[in-house]
Chains A and B, each alone.
Chain A
Amino acid sequence: MRRFAGGTAVLAAAALLLALAGQAAAAGKVTLLIHPTLYQAAGGPKGVVADLEREKGIRVTVVTAPYTKIKDKAVLSFAAGGGEFDVVTLIGPWINQETVGFFEPLDGYIRKAPADYAYEDLIESLRQTARVPKPGGPAYAIPYRVGTGIVYYRKDLFAKAGLSIPKTWEEFLAAAKKLTEPGVYGVVQRGKPGEHVEQDFKRYLFSTGHGTISDDGKRCLLDQPDSIRVLEVFGTHFFNGWAPPDMLAYGRDEYRNAMMQGRAAMGVFFSPYWGIMKDSQKSKVAEHLGWFLVPTLDGKNVGATLNSGWFAVMDKKSKNKQEAWELMMALTNKKNQLRGGLEWANGPVRTSVYQNPEFQKKFPVAQGWLTAISRGQEDAQHPRSAEISDVVSKEVINFLQKKKSAAQAMKDACRQVNSFL
């Protein structure tokens, strides 16, 4: 009798396990590799991924990795045969001629997407970034989050100094000079090596209307007269003491804190920092914070700068492509982009979100963001973009350390960059 009862229990357990396994297989699974901030921008475990499981029965396994690790993880997985991560979030420059070999082309999925997904509502410049080669190549990615360069400044200090909003870099420098006083630097930027100084300089450089290399990826543009002039602007506030003298040790935390602690009057910042800078619990200047678009050399096309977008790509070797596409749509559809922007501090990628009254009410800077994103462009989508970025970082620092003139630094940068093209 006891043996019979034991056998029945084993059989029942096996049946239960089989039933559960069958249910899991029917529901579908998908693995997402994502930056932790981006995951929070999708509401974390209770946000988009929970909704997707509830509504479509797709269970998402989330793997998070910081900025410096996410590309390693993805490339190592792809190089080892792929299939580990169905969907991966990557920044624009990482989507290039070399890496797209690992990605699933998405045009077929986009064509079959429901009408309310509204692919055309995704900001045009970001949709173009997702296409390789340009122009008109296949889409390999869907934009998910974007930030751009924008000037955040102290309205109270501007008013006290009787300054109006600068439209040219010359006016910007004049303002920096006037705003500098004991305890307050006129302007703050980053000077630490790597992406810190390189990204901040590029937010100035891209105001010329071009980036580090030509659109066809064959020519370095750093030695152009306008690039050299912009580098001189970048150095002028540092050399004259209008920026912190230890700017070369400033990374993200240092330059953001300098502004939030009231030690700086303005700076070209990554746009999503608005949220933290307007948080009066964390920022001493929350109520005085204003914004204006990044100046240009001639005062025209103001706002053109470097866009920094995150994109979702699908692994070509994924065994769950339909589920992966459902996840990509869930992350980027109208409803979740608006929700992400309003509730989870995402930088939306849809025009309609920036035009949404509720979003504009919460973020008075919304129109500025949209203008800057529309006029800006992504960094070079070149297979050697990491090496190019490090060359820019090194030569800008050489100039800031007065080891080279602006012209010489940019000439040397181009000599090295051209060897990668």
Chain B
Amino acid sequence: MRSEAQRGAVKAARGRWLSPARTQALAPYALILPAYLVLGAILIYPAVYNIWLSFWSWRLTTPHLARFVGPDNYVRLLTVNPDFWGVTRFTLGFTVATIALEFVLGLVSALLLYGLVRGRRLLTSFLLTPYMVAPIAVGLGWRLMWDRDIGVVNFAIGVIGLAKVNWLAETWPAFWAVVLTEVWRSTPFVTMILLAGLTALPNDVFEAAHVDGANRWQTFRRITFPLILPPLVVSLMFQTIFKLRVFDIPYILTEGGPGTSTMPYGLFIQRIYFRYFDVGNAAAVSVVLLLLGGVIAFFYLRLVRERDI
């Protein structure tokens, strides 16, 4: 039995602990805690576990032979695996080419749409169509269009008197076929982001520039571009991460071929895990991809911070 004095002391302590000021300070943490718990369970734990797995030699078909091998999987990946560097080259090349094309085309179409007085909404909806189509349908449709003998691309090339191209059967044409298909599919996303940025710009700045006699190029270079840089950088970062982990379009168009010349990390990981059941190596490649994405995201974020955008 607690004495009256003890009960009073406990009550006082509880009162101090749950003082209004402290309650107010803790409330935000309490509110975001569930979200962090969910994130931890579905994102952080699997990521950490994946890193842990990358230090193991473990095939799913022989779980009893699993053993800790330290950095062996990474060493073998970087020095012995015959496909790793080719896959890295393709993934980076694909990322750079698609991002560059998408941003040039996206910016041009966003500026053209922004300049429209009538019909902008209709045209914007129409332009979004490729992004609304399922990637598998995009891939299957374009696979027919890139076909050497019956494809519409070679038909168009033939009309202007050029020779047929083996789009999906030779290394460089296959690379560009995959890049251009992805650009066709994803450019509308970039256009939308940039158009949203453009429409949010304050009108008075442009009016002032106009009054000061700035021409269209000067207005774009000195005002429009710096002002849309924040959405531009954010969408650049997201698009880069999406491209690094691409899977669907190369898989449907070329299955990574000819040979392994259009094989991205996603396909490579899928092959190692689901065909070879090699958990350790698949985890190691995933960690490399995670690091690559992390490094690129870090530079983007630094750019955002340094430029204060």
Query: Which A positions have Cβ atoms within 8 angstroms of B?
Result: 68, 71-72, 75-76, 79, 98-99, 191-194, 196, 244-251, 254, 263, 383-384, 386-387, 390, 394, 397-398, 401, 416
A98 to B259 Cα, complex, angstroms:
28
Cβ of B202 < 8 Å from any Cβ of A?
no
State which residues 134-188 of B face A: CB under 8 Å: 147-149, 166-171, 174
Query: Which B positions have Cβ atoms within 8 angstroms of A?
Result: 59-63, 82-83, 147-149, 166-171, 174, 254-260, 271, 274-277
Question: A254's closest neighbor in chain B, by CB?
Answer: B147
B148 A191 Cβ-Cβ under 8 A: no
A246 B169 Cβ-Cβ under 8 A: yes
Question: B164's closest neighbor in chain A, by CB?
Answer: A245
A397 to B82 Cα, complex, angstroms:
15
B61 A193 Cβ-Cβ under 8 A: no
Query: With A244-B149, A245-B148 in contact, is A390–B169 under 8 Å at CB?
Result: no
Query: With A191-B258, A192-B257, A244-B148 in contact, is A72–B169 under 8 Å at CB?
Result: no
Give 7 nearest A-B pairs by CB, closest first: A249-B168, A248-B169, A193-B257, A246-B148, A246-B169, A249-B169, A98-B61
B251 to chain A, nearest CB (A): 10
Question: A395's closest neighbor in chain B, by CB?
Answer: B259
A418 to chain B, nearest CB (A): 14
A194 to B61 Cα, complex, angstroms:
21
B166 A249 Cβ-Cβ under 8 A: yes
A241 to chain B, nearest CB (A): 12
Residues of B within 8 A of A191 (CB): 169, 257-258
A79 to B63 Cα, complex, angstroms:
7
Residues of A within 8 A of B256 (CB): 193-194
Query: With A244-B149, A246-B149, A386-B275 in contact, is A98–B62 under 8 Å at CB?
Result: yes
B62 A192 Cβ-Cβ under 8 A: no
**26 A–B contacts from the bound complex (CB under 8 Å):** A68-B274, A75-B60, A75-B277, A76-B60, A79-B60, A79-B63, A99-B61, A192-B257, A193-B257, A196-B255, A246-B168, A247-B169, A248-B170, A248-B257, A249-B147, A249-B148, A249-B168, A254-B147, A263-B149, A383-B61, A383-B62, A387-B275, A394-B83, A397-B257, A401-B258, A416-B82
Query: With A191-B258, A248-B258 in contact, is A390–B271 under 8 Å at CB?
Result: yes
Question: A75's closest neighbor in chain B, by CB?
Answer: B60
Residues of B within 8 A of A192 (CB): 254-255, 257
Residues of A within 8 A of B168 (CB): 246, 248-249
In addition to A194-B256, A249-B167, A263-B149, 15 A-B residue pairs with Cβ atoms within 8 Å of each other are: A79-B61, A79-B63, A193-B255, A193-B257, A244-B148, A246-B147, A246-B166, A246-B169, A248-B170, A249-B148, A249-B174, A251-B255, A384-B276, A394-B82, A394-B83
Residues of A within 8 A of B147 (CB): 246, 249, 254
Residues of B within 8 A of A99 (CB): 61
A76 to B277 Cα, complex, angstroms:
9
A89 to chain B, nearest CB (A): 17
Question: A197's closest neighbor in chain B, by CB?
Answer: B257
B84 to chain A, nearest CB (A): 13
A245 to B147 Cα, complex, angstroms:
11
Question: A258's closest neighbor in chain B, by CB?
Answer: B149
A138 to B218 Cα, complex, angstroms:
81
A40 to B121 Cα, complex, angstroms:
48
Residues of A within 8 A of B274 (CB): 68, 71-72
B259 A249 Cβ-Cβ under 8 A: no
Question: B170's closest neighbor in chain A, by CB?
Answer: A248
Question: B254's closest neighbor in chain A, by CB?
Answer: A249
A242 to chain B, nearest CB (A): 15
Residues of B within 8 A of A193 (CB): 254-260
A387 B258 Cβ-Cβ under 8 A: no
A68 to B60 Cα, complex, angstroms:
16
